Structures are given as C-alpha cells and as structure tokens.
Amino acid sequence: MGMQIVSSATGMQRLAKKWQRADVRIGFVPTMGYLHAGHLSLVRTARKRVGKAGKVVVSIYVNPTQFAPTEDLAKYPRDGKRDLKLCRAAGVDAVFTPDDGAMYPGKSLSQQGARATGFSTYVREEELSRRMEGAVRPTHFRGVTTVVAKLFNIVLPNVAVFGQKDYQQATIIRRMVRDLNFPVQIIVAPTLRERDGLALSSRNKFLNEEQRAQATILYHALQATKAAVKQKPVSAARLQADLKKFITAAPLARLDYVEFFDPETLAPIQQVRRGTQMALAVVFDQTRLIDNARL
C-alpha cells in the first residue's frame, strides 16, 4: 500500500488503532508543513526507531493557537503538494492533514486564535514555559502543548521525533509527556544546518539576500561562546553584553534575547561553563530566527 493521506481526526485514529491491534509500532513527526531537509531528517530518525515493519506518520498542520495576533500566521509558508511529494519520496506511511475544524471543533479560528463556543480545553505547562520564547510569546506554548497533546491522542504514536532547534519546545513536550503519562517516547534529533551554519527553518525563506548573508551571526555567536567558556566559567551577564555587541555588529540583526540555562530544568545559570545550554533569538525585519547549543 502506498502513502495514505488522512484529513479527519477520527479517520487517523481508526488507522492508528488498526496498526496498534496488529502490534505495529508507530513513529510520528509533527510539522507545520513547508518541509525541508531538517524535517526529512526527523522522518529518517522515526523510521530507524520503528523499523521497516513499523509505520511513520507525518502531520502537516499550521496550528493557529500558537500564534499571537501580531505574529505571522497568515504569512506562514505553505506548499501542500510539495510537502506530500517529499513525504512520499521519504517513505512516509501516512500524512495527517487536518483543517481547523478537525482540530478545534466548534471554534472560529482567526489571527486572534481560538474563539466562540464549542472548544474550551487547553494544556498548559507552567514552569518551563515562563522564560525565553514563553516570555516573548506568552500564548505560544499553550497552543503548542494543546495541539501536540491532541496529535498524540489522534496518531497514538509509540515514538515522536522533534528537532533540537526548538530546544525549549522539545523540553516542554518531554515534561508534558512525563507529567500527563503519555505512553510516548520523545526523541530530540540534532539540528540540521546549511553549509554556512544557519539552522534550517521554514522561516528562512522570508530572508532577503542581505539578511540571509547576515543570518549566520546566530551560528557564529554560538561558536564564539563555546570558545569563550572552553577554559573557564564566564559570567552570564558579561557574555550577554558581549553577545549583544557581537550580534548587532550585523546591521540588519536585532537581538531578541540570549539566555544561559540548565539543559534539563531550563533554570537560569549565572556562571556559564561547559555543559551549559545556550539559546538565542534574533530578528531580521519581521523574520525571527532561533538557535541553541550545548556549550
């Protein structure tokens, strides 16, 4: 049987339960589409985890509840036909392509998020989501955890694969799975990069030629910080001040934040040393890029 395309939540759930009854392992890669080589590397990881006899499912859904009114929901890149072609070539067994009505029944979804009547249940993580992306985008992670919880209940995976580029997101998903007893193993796969170090992202397409050339400043900032703490600890305040100067030397770059924290708890660290996790966000006009590294 070739790749199956399923748009209804009940249809996907029926298919997953059929596989479960046959003792078939399910690997899952949730995406918002506009797939690139980074997504396909997650698919390969999922395949390795479930084996040839297992099934790999990719979801393609631009989730409106994780976008604030000021963010780029309407502009988020979409290319469904290309996505399906890439999934088929990658050996994906099923692609789940719901619409808003399937994911948020009874809701009127808009740039302002979910409204009206009929859907009123959300999943919210209250500790790891306070800082970094959560501070800048206060409603973002509530949308992420809600949609991922729903996808887990629909796809019923044994294994789900996320990318390390969204480090805070992956850590929050792990915590949600632990706290709410989801029977899912979470795999965090390495960030895939361009040859010049820029992390692959669907938003990279919004960069013009000059912005794209300067966007490597994120990768260079990570590498410079690794070198700075290689021999001895350095204060986070000093590194943040140095990195602000380093990043804004690229004239089109605006630093949103740079943070140093414990890789498990995401708690801030004052003395940065090898083993500390670092994350940063940099804005080019309206395009916001994130990256991270273990120092």
Which of 162, 189, 216 is the C-terminal boundary of a domain? 189
Structure tokens at 211: 């912005």
pLDDT single digits (tens) 63-90: 999 998 888 788 899 999 999 999 999 9
Is 196 part of a structural domain of the chain?
A: no
pLDDT single digits (tens) 159-212: 999 999 999 999 999 999 999 999 999 999 999 999 999 999 999 999 999 999
Q: Coil, helix or strand for 186?
A: strand
Give the span between the Cα atoms of 14 and 8, in whole angstroms.
Answer: 10
- Residue 271 sits in a domain of what CATH number? 3.30.1300.10
Which of 189, 215, 234 is the C-terminal boundary of a domain? 189
Is 37 part of a structural domain of the chain?
A: yes
Q: Are 36 and 178 in a shared domain?
A: yes
Which of 121, 154, 189 is the C-terminal boundary of a domain? 189
Q: Are 183 and 274 in a shared domain?
A: no
Give the span between the Cα atoms of 138 and 76, in whole angstroms.
Answer: 19
Q: Are 55 and 175 in a shared domain?
A: yes
Q: Are 166 and 272 in a shared domain?
A: no
Q: Are 246 and 138 in a shared domain?
A: no
- The secondary structure element, H or E, covering residue 86 is helix 80-89
Does residue 110 or residue 26 have the better pLDDT?
26
**Could you tell me if 239 and 260 are in contact, meaning their C-beta atoms sit under 8 angstroms apart?**
yes
Of how many residues is the chain composed? 295
Count of structural domains, the chain: 2
Is 56 part of a structural domain of the chain?
A: yes
Per-residue pLDDT at 116: 45
pLDDT single digits (tens) 114-147: 444 578 899 999 999 999 999 999 999 999 999 9
Give the span between the Cα atoms of 170 and 149, in whole angstroms.
Answer: 13
Whose CA is closest to 225, among 238, 211, 216?
Answer: 238
Ramachandran class of 87: left when φ > 0, alpha when ψ lies in -120 to 50, beta otherwise:
alpha
Q: Which residues are catalytic?
A: 39
Is 40 part of a structural domain of the chain?
A: yes
Quote the distance between the C-alpha of residue 35 and its chain's center. 12
Mean pLDDT taken over the chain = 94
Task: Tell me the β-bridge partners of 288.
Answer: 283
Per-residue pLDDT at 279: 98
pLDDT higher than threshold 80 for residue 109? no
**Could you tell me if 200 and 280 are in contact, meaning their C-beta atoms sit under 8 angstroms apart?**
no
C-alpha pair distances (Å), 61 with each of 102, 173, 190 = 11, 17, 22
Is 84 part of a structural domain of the chain?
A: yes
Per-residue pLDDT at 119: 84
pLDDT higher than threshold 50 for residue 112? no
Helix then strand count (H, E) for the chain reads 10, 13
Give the span between the Cα atoms of 242 and 62, in whole angstroms.
Answer: 36
Q: Are 48 and 117 in a shared domain?
A: yes
Q: Are 206 and 142 in a shared domain?
A: no
Q: Are 175 and 228 in a shared domain?
A: no
Is 195 part of a structural domain of the chain?
A: no
Per-residue pLDDT at 158: 98
- Residue 147 sits in a domain of what CATH number? 3.40.50.620
Side chain identity at residue 134, one-letter code: G
Give the span between the Cα atoms of 154 and 8, in whole angstroms.
Answer: 10
Per-residue pLDDT at 68: 87
Q: Are 143 and 58 in a shared domain?
A: yes
Q: Are 148 and 35 in a shared domain?
A: yes
Q: Are 45 and 149 in a shared domain?
A: yes
Is 108 part of a structural domain of the chain?
A: yes
Task: Tell me the β-bridge partners of 149.
Answer: none
pLDDT tier at 108 (50, 70, 90 boundaries)? low
Segment 1-21 mean pLDDT: 96
pLDDT tier at 154 (50, 70, 90 boundaries)? very high
Q: Are 259 and 177 in a shared domain?
A: no
pLDDT higher than threshold 90 for residue 284? yes
Is 256 part of a structural domain of the chain?
A: yes
pLDDT single digits (tens) 217-250: 999 999 999 999 999 999 999 999 999 999 999 9
Q: Could you tell me the residue range of the domain that residue 230 belongs to? A: 202-288
Strands (E) across 85-174 are located at: 94-96, 108-110, 113-115, 159-163
Segment 47-56 mean pLDDT: 97
Q: pTM of the predicted model, to two decimals?
A: 0.94
